[in-house]
Amino acid sequence: MNNSDIKKYLKYLNFDKFYKPKYKRCEICNSNKTKLLRKKISWNNNKFGVLPVHCCLNCGFVFQNPRFDKQFYKNYYEKAYRNITLGTQKPPKKYLDDQKSRGKKLFKFLKPHIPKKGSMLDVGSSVGLMLLPFLKNNWKCSGNDPIRSYVDYGKQKFNLPVECILSEDMKLKKRSLDLIIIMGSLEHVVDVNLVMKKCSEASKTNGILVLEARGDPLGNTKKFFNQSHHRYFFENTLELIMIKYGWEPFLTTKYPITGPTRQNTIFCLGRFKGESIKKNFKKAIKFGKKETFDDIFFKLKYYNYLAKNSSNKLLLR
Ligand SMILES: [Zn+2]
């Protein structure tokens, strides 16, 4: 990404200050061997520009590279993000209803895996309405999100225990949580390792972690890569990040646990075991728990192919 590309992007975001992004090692396996997967991505709907995405050649993780610093993203989330994605600073009713419904479905699904009551955290909780069914069942809940207008709305309108901070700045009590949920936020946080480390220190042994990620592309991949996603998890990399921080994945599924409104997302559920799981992380990759550059490249090519070739060309079998 040369300076002219950077300036174009910053101008697009209405940032006056110049920020220089830096190349990073793979956020999952720490390898410095990464390869360009996509140079131009979607800045917003039909606006495309340079913001390169790399694939790690050791584990197959897909992430934005180079990347800006924390201050850049702080400004980005405060000013730009909601305006770009939803076109408003006030949460729409449809969005609030969806959060409520997703929370209900999640609670029901998790029931067999969690205690009757306990302590939970929602990282990237937005308004915080997914906490409602847990609160109703006497769980001790907290949530956080960097988007102030949404957090304030949750606090003022619904009296929800949410706070406006970056998840990197969370202060959590050690071994205090029975359940942590990160629903579609892990792609957006600035420092995924710091967030996961904090969560792992706060989880009780056998505590449950629920991760939700966007999953495979829906249709043509042109818009799949966009500026608000710093990284792209697939089944394998979701499991890897859990293992890296001591959770043992026990269910990874595309089944729509929280209902139909977030089409195609993937879920990974894990149980915290600590060191006994963590210590196998590097070996697991070495012995094949990885995707190659070509695995990823052809996955994307496959979705482009599907989008282009309509079903009437297929023979029924
Ligand atoms: Zn890697």
pLDDT attached to residue 311? 63
The rounded Å distance from CA 110 to ligand 1 centre is 30
Report CA(179)–ligand 1 centroid distance (Å). 27
Give me the domain span that covers residue 188: 93-285
Going from the Cα of 28 to the center of ligand 1, the distance in angstroms, rounded, reads 5
Q: How far apart are CA 6 and CA 47, in angstroms?
A: 15
DSSP percent split of the chain into helix, strand, coil, nearest 5: 40, 25, 40
pLDDT per residue over 233-279, tens digit each?
999 999 999 999 999 999 999 999 999 999 999 999 999 999 999 99
Distance 296 CA to ligand 1 centre (A): 13
pLDDT tens per residue, range 144-176: 998 888 999 999 999 999 999 999 999 999 999
The amino acid present at 177, given as its one-letter code, is: L
Same domain (yes/no): 76, 221: no
Residue for token pair 């990874």: 252
Residue corresponding to tokens 């969690």: 114
Burial of residue 24 (number of CB atoms within 10 Å: 0-12, 13-18, 19+): middle
Position 127 in a domain: yes
More confident residue, 287 or 309: 287
CB 230 within 8 A of CB 63: yes
Going from the Cα of 56 to the center of ligand 1, the distance in angstroms, rounded, reads: 5
Q: Residue 252 C-alpha to ligand 1 middle, in angstroms?
A: 20
- Going from the Cα of 260 to the center of ligand 1, the distance in angstroms, rounded, reads 31
Mean pLDDT of the 41-48 span: 89
Average pLDDT, integer, range 80-101:
77
Together in a domain, 160 and 258: yes
Residues 17 and 146 in one domain: no
Distance between Cα 277 and ligand 1 center (Å):
18
Residues 195 and 263 in one domain: yes
Tell me if the bond preceding 66 is cis, omega within 30° of 0: yes
As a whole number of angstroms, the distance between CA 134 and CA 160 comes to: 11
Q: CA-to-CA distance for 30 and 9, rounded, in angstroms?
A: 27
Residues 274 and 126 in one domain: yes
Helix (H) or strand (E) run with residue 105 in it: helix 93-110
CA of 270 to the centre of ligand 1 (A): 20
Residue 294 contacts residue 35 (beta carbons within 8 Å): no
Residues 6+ apart with CB under 8 A from 260: none
Ligand 1 centre from 197 Cα, in Å?
17
Q: Verify that 270 and 241 share a domain, yes or no.
A: yes
CA 174 to centroid of ligand 1, rounded, Å: 28
176 domain residue, yes or no: yes
313 band by pLDDT with thresholds 50, 70 and 90: low
> So what's the pLDDT on residue 76?
80
Considering its fold, how many domains does the chain have in total? Answer: 2
Q: How far is the CA of 66 from the centre of ligand 1 (A)?
A: 15
80: in domain? yes
- Helices and strands (H and E) in the chain: how many: 11, 11
Residue 228's pLDDT band, with cuts at 50, 70 and 90, is confident
Report pTM: 0.93
For residue 213, the CA-to-ligand 1 centroid distance in Å is 18
Q: What is the C-alpha separation between 104 and 158, in angstroms, rounded? A: 16
pLDDT at residue 84 greater than cutoff 60: no
Domain end, chosen from 62, 88, 114, is at 88
Angle at 266 between CA 101 and CA 315, to 5 degrees: 110
Of 75-84, 97-106, 109-118, 206-215, give the lowest mean pLDDT range.
75-84
> Would you say 195 and 123 are in contact if contact means Cβ atoms under 8 Å apart?
yes
Final residue in a domain of this structure, among 49, 73, 88: 88
Residue range 193-221, pLDDT digits in tens: 999 999 999 999 999 999 999 999 988 89
Task: Give distance in angstroms: CA of 58 to centre of ligand 1.
Answer: 5
DSSP string over 4-35: HHHHHHHHHTT--S----B----TTT--S-EE
The one-letter amino acid code at 16 reads D
List Cα–Cα distances, 316 to 12, 160, 306, in angstroms: 47, 52, 16
> Is 165 found in the same domain as 23?
no
- Are residues 215 and 232 in contact, defined by beta-carbon separation less than 8 angstroms? no
Residue 126 lies in a domain: yes
Please indicate, yes or no, if residue 293 is contained in any of the structural domains.
no
Is the model's pLDDT at 45 over the cut of 90?
Answer: no
Question: Based on the domain organization, do 44 and 112 belong to the same domain?
Answer: no
Residue type, 224: F
| Shared domain check, 46 and 134 | no
34 CA to middle of ligand 1, Å? 8
| 117/263 same-domain check | yes
Do 182 and 263 lie in a common domain?
Answer: yes
Residue at which a domain ends, from 34, 69, 88: 88
- Tell me if 33 is assigned to some domain: yes
Q: Express as a percent the part of the chain with pLDDT over 70.
A: 94
pLDDT at position 98? 97
Q: 46 and 163, same structural domain? A: no
**201 close to 176: Cβ distance less than 8 angstroms:** no
pLDDT top residue among 308 and 184: 184
